[in-house]
Structures are given as C-alpha cells and as structure tokens.
Chains A and B, each alone.
Chain A
Amino acid sequence: MSDIADRVKKIVVEHLGVEEDKITDNASFIDDLGADSLDTVELVMAFEEEFGIEIPDDAAENIQTFGDAVKFISEAK
C-alpha cells in the first residue's frame, strides 16, 4: 500500500474512531464509516494539512470514499 494511503488511513482512524480493516477502497465515509457531514469537512481539512494541498469545495464534494480521497491526493501532489 502506498505511503499516501497509509497516511490517509491513519487520519480516518483517528477522526472517526473506526477499525483499520473496515477502511477499504470502496468504504464510504458517511455510509460505511459512520461519518456525518461535519466529519467529512473535518477530514478534508485534515487531508489538506497533512499533505499541504488545497482541496476546493467542488472537489471535496466528490470525495465520498477512502479510495476517492487517496486518488485525489495522489493526483494533487
């Protein structure tokens, strides 16, 4: 697994308090990992900080799953 995926996973575990093995590529933050809308905003903030990138609002809306997040960050960096 890539370094980016590991770091994203660590953030998700910390923020949502979920088991690491539940975080699969297709795991939806809201439907599968128990996040509410405010959690998703916080996750995006945490990703921005961890990776030193800007995630615009329209892009943030499309980040629904763990896989989406890793893909977006990999492309943004």
Chain B
Amino acid sequence: MFDLTGKSALVTGASGGIGAAIARALHGAGAQVALSGTREDPLRALAGELGQGAHVVPCNLSDPQAVDALPKAASAAMGSLDILVNNAGITRDNLFMRMSDDDWNAVIDVNLTATMRLCRGAIRGMMKARWGRIVNIGSVVGAIGNPGQANYAAAKAGMVGLSKALAHEVAARNITVNCVAPGFISTAMTEKLTEDQRAGLMQKIPAGRMGEADEVAGAVLYLASPVAGYVTGATLHVNGGMAML
C-alpha cells in the first residue's frame, strides 16, 4: 500500500536514530534515498547497509549556502527529488532567563530556517513534476511547550505554521506538506535525560513507554506515500498519548 517505487527522497539528519529509521523505511518501500547529515561516517555506514539506491550527501545545516546546494546535490545523485523529509534538529536547552542569543539563533537556524531553505530548493522540481511530498519532523514540544526549550519549541511550532502556509500554496499541484510530531523517542537525544526526568515523563505518557524510531518512520512513510495524497497541512502526533491533539 505504501509503495514508493520510482520515487526519490532526501532525508536530513539521517545520521541520527529517527532519521536513519526514516531512511530505512522509505528505502524499504522502494524509494531511492539521499542521506544527509553532518557526520559522514554513520551516513556511509547506513548507505552501505541499504545498498543500491542509497546516496550520501553530507551537509552542515547551519551553513546557508550549503543548505541551498543540498536539494540540487540530492536531485543530481538520484535523478529527481520527489520526497523531502526535514528531520535534522539540534537542541540548546537552557532556562529562558538564561537563554543567550546564540542558543536561540543556532536552534532557529538549523531547525526552522534550514527547513524553509530546503523546502524552497525542493519545491521547484515538485511543481514541475506535479507531485511532491514534504514531511517536516516537528515535536510534541512545539504543541505543548517544555521548560528549558523555548528555542526548540519556537522552532518546532514555527515549522507547523510554515508547513500549513506552504501546504495551501502548493496543494493544487499534488504536493502535500505535513508534519510528524514525535513525543519522547529512544534516541541519543533523549538518552541525555536523567533518571528522575525519565520517571517523571513516564507518568505523563499513557502508553507507559518511550516510542521507537520505527514508529516515527511509519508515520513518515504513510505521509510520503501516494495514498496520503489528500492529507496536507496536517500534523501527525506520534507520542503514546502524551498529548492528544
């Protein structure tokens, strides 16, 4: 049902846990994948594991010129760019009263501005092809907030607004723009949580556990597939019931 044969997908942050799971899911459905990230070694390892139809396109998302060049590089490697998954993200947590401009700007630049730039770079080809899928990976934090993450929450909420506005503009061209908002997923990012934080979290998650990267990848695969053609401007929450939105 979720067949992506003949499609080409760019996944940012593919060196991380969720990004790698997304790349595996899209590749498993038949898509070519361009794996992007800052650390080349894990990208090469993943490309080796996936084999044919996997390409490595490294990019530092805090460098605007590199970001503008990425969709072109991905398209050149794969022959087209039909699916864009903006998954890369960084955190610079701090209490708001102590949050510096640098903490704020770094998170907004990578999580929100780079997403905008990649959408802009990818949309032209999608318009011409009269088909496209953009899936932006947000966060439950963008919807309900989180202490210490004013920058991250702002970036992720901004991503939702960006996605909705863009979804309006391109809907008539068979291009959908959606968000997937994970809750707490077992990855390197959430391993930084202390035991106390973890225990506190579990009480707020009806499912009683952290999510797995595959469970986020499944949501992305659905939204990237042809059967999700009538879903646009939506946010699919994958959070074990932590926030039922």
Q: Which residues of A have CB within 8 Å of B39? A: none
A32 at the interface (CB under 8 A from B): no
Min CB–CB distance B134 → chain A (angstroms)? 16
B41 at the interface (CB under 8 A from A): no
- A39 and chain B: residue at smallest CB distance: B172
B169 at the interface (CB under 8 A from A): yes
Q: Using a CB-CB cutoff of 8 Å, which residues 42-74 of chain A contact chain B?
A: 42, 45
Interface string of A9-42 (1 = CB under 8 A from B): 0000000000000000000000000000010001
A38–B172 CA distance with the chains assembled, in angstroms: 10
* Contact residues of A: prevailing secondary structure: helix
Q: Using a CB-CB cutoff of 8 Å, which residues 167-186 of chain B contact chain A?
A: 169-170, 172-173
B124 touches A38 (CB 8 A): no
A63–B127 CA distance with the chains assembled, in angstroms: 20
Interface string of B172-202 (1 = CB under 8 A from A): 1100000000000000000000000000000
Q: Using a CB-CB cutoff of 8 Å, which residues 138-193 of chain B contact chain A?
A: 169-170, 172-173
A38–B169 CA distance with the chains assembled, in angstroms: 8
A45–B123 CA distance with the chains assembled, in angstroms: 12
A53–B197 CA distance with the chains assembled, in angstroms: 57
Q: Which residues of B have CB within 8 Å of A45? A: 124, 127-128
Query: What are 9 A-B contacts with C-beta separation under 8 Å?
Result: A38-B169, A38-B170, A38-B172, A38-B173, A42-B127, A42-B128, A45-B124, A45-B127, A45-B128
Name B residues whose Cβ lies closer than 8 Å to a Cβ of A.
Answer: 124, 127-128, 169-170, 172-173
Q: Which 8 A-B pairs have the closest CB atoms?
A: A42-B127, A38-B169, A45-B124, A38-B172, A45-B127, A45-B128, A38-B170, A38-B173
